[in-house]
Chain A
Amino acid sequence: MIPIDDLLLGAAAVFVVLAIVVLYRAIRGPTMQDRVIAVNVLGTNTVVILALLAAALDVPSFLDIALVYALLNFLVAVAISKFTVDRGGVM
């Protein structure tokens, strides 16, 4: 029987590996929409990792940071999208 804390930490590690895979899409592109979506996925990934770490390490205050990330993620995605649309010709 694996302790539940190790299981949660292992899941967090898998999500970090996934973040590196998504990073390939963010760097490679080729269009700006790909990058915006990729960074959005990375942000959601971060929220999940933080929640898993909060449960595994038993630090509930990590959940506050997860909330801030969720809000920030939305803000950045909207900002970049709006910028891309406003300057459609240049993008």
Chain B
Amino acid sequence: MEYVAYTLAVFVVVTAVATALLRDVLAAIVIFGAYSLGMALLYTLLLAPDVGLTEAVIGAGVTTLLLLLTIAKTVRPSGDRTIERIDPRALFACGALAVVFGLTLPGLPAVGDPNAPIVSYDAVTGHYLTQSYAETGVENTVTAVLAAYRGFDTFGEATVVFAAGVAALVVLRREVLT
């Protein structure tokens, strides 16, 4: 179990670095799709299948298609080199940022820790786990929270996504007409 997760983590890191360093934009888009697949597998392995499903559809599917459409309408830099030249200052900034983020890791509870705040603070978690079916009639607790308890919030998100989709269609349509 741990070996699979660690090897997947190596896969994700390699794809992420390759996406940043590849000079050819189309190649970077292809590798980014592979990154999304690895990330979705990692989510699924951590028993968050719904997040994994979203990552696969949005990350590997929609984002790849949108980026392909974008470079179809623009140009892509081409050259002899496969790998972009690395700017030492940018490398230093990225490394410093990674170290700062890494410093927060010891503060996180371990996976499955019975003393984690989300478990020990039972008043909230227990309420949702025991009452969500009686109050909303939805069997899956996560779905109940998303669609019922914070239904207005989800409705707002859906409105934003719909507006963005309409805007993208309008822009693409105008491109075709002119």
What is the interface of chain A, defined by CB distance below 8 A to chain B?
Answer: 9, 12-13, 16-17, 19-20, 23, 26-30, 32, 35-36, 39, 42-43, 46, 49-50, 53, 59, 61-62, 64-65, 68-69, 72, 75-76, 79-80, 83, 86-87, 90-91
Q: B1 on the interface (CB 8 Å rule)?
A: yes
Q: Is the CB of A20 within 8 A of B31?
A: no
B30 cross-chain contacts in A, Cβ below 8 A: 26, 32, 35-36, 39, 80
Contacts between chains A and B (CB distance < 8 A), count: 103
Q: B147 on the interface (CB 8 Å rule)?
A: no
Partner of A68, one of B27, B56, B68, B82: B56
Distance in angstroms from A4 CB to nearest chain B CB is 15
B64 cross-chain contacts in A, Cβ below 8 A: 76, 79-80
Known: A43-B37, A75-B61, A80-B68. 8 other contacts (CB 8 A): A13-B7, A16-B8, A23-B15, A26-B30, A46-B40, A72-B61, A80-B30, A86-B72
- Residue among A17, A28, A68, A72 facing the most chain B CB atoms (10 A cut-off): A72
Q: Is the CB of B14 within 8 A of A20?
A: yes
Partner of A23, one of B4, B34, B44, B45: B34
Distance in angstroms from A35 CB to nearest chain B CB is 5
A62 cross-chain contacts in B, Cβ below 8 A: 44, 49
Q: B18 on the interface (CB 8 Å rule)?
A: yes
Distance in angstroms from A48 CB to nearest chain B CB is 11
Distance in angstroms from A77 CB to nearest chain B CB is 10
What is the interface of chain B, defined by CB distance below 8 A to chain A?
Answer: 1, 3-4, 7-8, 10-11, 14-15, 18, 22, 26-27, 30-31, 33-34, 37-38, 40-41, 44-45, 47, 49, 52-53, 56-57, 60-61, 64-65, 68, 72, 76, 82
Q: Is the CB of B41 within 8 A of A50?
A: yes
| A38 CA / B15 CA spacing, docked (Å) | 13
Q: Is the CB of A42 within 8 A of B14?
A: no
| A20 CA / B14 CA spacing, docked (Å) | 8
**Given known contacts A80-B30, A80-B68, A27 and B22 CB-to-CB distance under 8 angstroms:** yes
Partner of A76, one of B1, B26, B61: B61
7 A-B residue pairs with CB within 8 Å: A20-B7, A20-B11, A26-B31, A27-B18, A32-B26, A59-B47, A65-B56
Partner of B53, one of A12, A19, A65, A79: A65
